[in-house]
Structure formats: C-alpha cells, structure tokens
C-alpha cells in the first residue's frame, strides 16, 4: 500500500470514528421498550448545561441541583430530586436502566427512554427520561407526575420551585382526563367541576386544578399476591387463640421501641434505630415470622379486608396523608391494638400510641384496614 493510500485510509477511519456517538451519550438513547411503554430517543445535540439551581419546597430553600435543558425544557437528576423530596431509599439497575425509589408510603420506578413511569401499582405518563454523565434526568413535568408535586422553574431567581402537596397538575403527553382522575384517586366529574370543563378533552401542557382533598380518596386495592378469592373475602372478626397471642406478642415487641425517632423514607436497614411508619410495621412483624412489603401502599394490598367495626388487635390500619399527598393515596400505616388505639410512628414523637377513635385527624383520614395474621 502506498503512503498516499495509507493516508487516505487513515482519514476515512478518523471520519468514521468522529461520526460515532460517545459512550456516555449512547446511554442517553434508549433502544428497547419495557412494560408496554413507548421508548423515545433525544438527540444529544439538544442537551444544554445550565447554572446550578436551588430547590425550594413551598417557598423554603432545601438544597441545590444541577439541571440541564432538553428541547427548551428543564430536566433534573432523578436521584437528586428524589432525595430532596424524601425518597431516601433510591436504587438503580444498570441492566434495565431503571431507578426505584421509596419514601415509605409509595414506591416509584422510572426507566430511561420510557414514556410512562410506575407510581405504586399505577402508571403515569411522562417525558422519556434520559441518561447523561452517569445520571438519569427527568423533566420537571415528569417529576410532578411521579412525585405528586407541582414543580416548575422560576426564572426570576433561577430556582426550581416545588409545590407539595400538588394543588395543580400539568397534563402530560398521552394523558386522558380519566387517567388523571384515576392517578389522583378522584372522579372525572370532580375534575371537570374543579376546572370548569365542558368536555373531557385535555391537551399536553394544560394546567388543571386538583380537586379538594375531601374529594380524593384511595379505595382499598384489589391486587395482591394471594388468591383473588381470599383477597375479596372479608376477614372473620374472631381470632383464634394462637393468632390473638401472636398479635399481642407483635404489639409487645413494637412497644419496646416507644420513642425511637421517626425518619421519613428511612431505609429498611436503618431499623430499628430510625424508622418510618411502614418500616416500623415491617420490622416488628418480621420479628414474629410475618413478612410485609416495604412501603405502606404495598402493605395495604396484603392480607384480607376487614370492616372498621370488626377491627381486632394486630390488624393494619391505613390512612391518607393530605399534608404531603394531594392524590388521596395510602400515606400512613399503624398497628391496631384494640379499644380504638393504634401503635405507630410519627414525625414529632417517634414510635407512640394514639387513640385514633378520639382524634379528629385520624378519623377524618382513615381509609381502611387489612388483616395479615391468621
């Protein structure tokens, strides 16, 4: 091969390599679909770095974050945003390019390139997350949908603002009014009234008011791993002597941790030093051979349903948490002790005993109960 030919070949190879995307940017482009969700790619040329931004929750600055701009929209790192919002337990699968995060009440999952995310056992429409510089980024609109917040960029001071709980919702691509109502555990009628709507038509980017708290209430889930027949059957109000004894043993174990500090979104590994409501119930029941899922939403689908009038010691009782969630979801769990009392953990006092039948707050936010002891 002549020197001229070698030089020409070198130039051709150099040009070919120049056209190949860098490995870091290849991660930003999803190539396969999972869970039935459409996968989209975003051209790497549309990424723009911007100045570090503070994140304020209800007007109070909490932390700082490094956003980027994609097609004129602000994107934020998913793990950083999750931590700021109290989702302390965050994991990432490099194989599936999926983030899983829990705040103790609900577990959310987002996957690179997917146009939907999982919030509990529900699906919400989002802009496809992207992976760049070793992190997964989601748009502010997607963060709103996944975390039940209203999140936006405030140009006046260059900050990310979070309204928690959300009182408004920005329609995402693919949304229908029915899906939005379902995600907020309310009705189409309530959505239409709250927004003076004459039809069910919605368009991406449209702002909708979330119906008032009393019109959002999650009904008892009908999904669990045990047979459907058992799931739909009402629990017997009478406990066997052995089951009653186990319930009392569980309660006695729980009482040992009276006053142990509460930590929102605590990791399971932190128990029993610090616990949130669901890691507390999970830990205490585990000491007696009963395995419960991690978050309160998952725990609310275990066992059999029981009427409030037939509660017995050892039953799990579930509540809304309107100060944090505007979608009426399960946000708190406690262990029923009998005589209207429950053993649980709350921010101010840690593990404590509360008479829920004499408290307007707990009575107003009570959802339902489940029996997991047999």
Low-confidence ranges of the chain (pLDDT < 70): 1-45, 221-238
277 is catalytic: yes
How many whole angstroms separate alpha carbon 251 and alpha carbon 255? 6
Which domains are seen in the chain, by residue range? 26-166 (3.30.457.10), 228-371 (3.90.1720.10)
Q: Quote the pLDDT of residue 239.
A: 76
Is 344 an annotated catalytic residue?
yes
Total Cβ atoms within 10 A of residue 19: 6
Q: Are strands 159-163 and 53-57 parallel, antiparallel or unpaired?
A: parallel
pLDDT tens string 293-351: 999 999 999 999 999 999 999 999 999 999 999 999 999 999 999 999 999 999 999 99
Distance CA 202, CA 159 (A): 28
Catalytically annotated residue among 99, 131, 184, 344:
344
Which of 99, 131, 184, 332 is catalytic? The answer is 332
Within the chain, residue ranges assigned H as helices are 3-19, 23-26, 78-84, 140-147, 177-183, 188-194, 228-232, 241-255, 277-286, 296-299, 360-365
Q: Where are the alpha helices (DSSP H) in 35-158?
A: 78-84, 140-147
Choose, from 99, 131, 184, 277, the residue flagged as catalytic: 277
DSSP label at 324?
Answer: T
Phi–psi pair at 114, nearest 5 degrees: -80, 145
Residue 2: the pLDDT is 55
Would you state the pLDDT for residue 7?
46
Sequence-separated (6 or more) residues with CB below 8 Å from residue 117: 108, 109, 110, 111, 123, 124, 126, 142, 145, 146
Which pLDDT belongs to residue 227? 35
Q: Is the pTM of this model over 0.85?
A: no
How many residues are recorded in the chain?
Answer: 374
β-partners of residue 232 are: none
């Amino acid at each position: 091969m002549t020197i001229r030919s070698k030089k020409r070949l070198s130039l051709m190879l150099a040009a070919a390599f120049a056209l190949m995307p860098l490995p870091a940017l290849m991660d930003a482009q999803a190539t396969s679909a999972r869970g039935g969700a459409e996968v989209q790619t975003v051209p790497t040329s549309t990424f723009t770095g911007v100045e570090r931004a503070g994140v304020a929750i209800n007007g109070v600055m909490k932390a700082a974050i490094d956003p980027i701009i994609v097609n004129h929209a602000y994107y934020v790192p998913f793990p950083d945003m999750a931590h700021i919002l109290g989702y302390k337990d965050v994991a990432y699968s490099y194989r599936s390019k999926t983030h899983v995060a829990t705040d103790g009440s609900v577990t959310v999952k987002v996957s690179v390139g997917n146009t939907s995310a999982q919030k509990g056992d529900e699906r919400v429409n989002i802009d496809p997350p992207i992976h760049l510089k070793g992190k997964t980024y989601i748009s502010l609109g997607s963060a709103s949908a996944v975390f039940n917040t209203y999140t936006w960029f405030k140009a006046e001071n260059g900050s990310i603002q979070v309204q928690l709980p959300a009182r408004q919702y920005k329609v995402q691509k693919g949304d229908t009014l029915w899906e939005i109502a379902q995600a907020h555990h309310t009705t189409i009628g309530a959505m239409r009234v709250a927004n003076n709507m004459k039809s069910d038509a919605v368009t991406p980017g449209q702002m909708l008011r979330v119906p008032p708290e009393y019109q959002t209430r999650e009904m008892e889930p009908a999904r669990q791993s045990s047979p459907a027949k058992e799931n739909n059957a009402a629990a017997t109000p009478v406990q066997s002597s052995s089951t009653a004894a186990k319930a009392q043993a569980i309660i006695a174990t729980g009482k040992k941790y009276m006053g142990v500090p509460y930590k929102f979104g605590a990791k399971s590994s932190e128990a029993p030093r610090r616990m949130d409501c669901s890691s507390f119930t999970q830990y205490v029941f585990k000491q007696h051979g009963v395995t419960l899922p991690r978050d309160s939403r998952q725990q609310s689908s275990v066992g059999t349903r029981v009427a409030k009038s037939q509660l017995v010691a050892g039953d799990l009782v579930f509540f809304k948490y309107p100060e944090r969630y505007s979608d009426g979801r399960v946000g708190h769990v406690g262990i029923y002790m009998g005589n209207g009392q429950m053993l649980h953990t709350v921010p101010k006092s840690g593990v404590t005993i509360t008479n829920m039948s004499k408290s307007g707050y707990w009575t107003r936010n009570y959802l339902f109960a489940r029996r997991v002891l047999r």
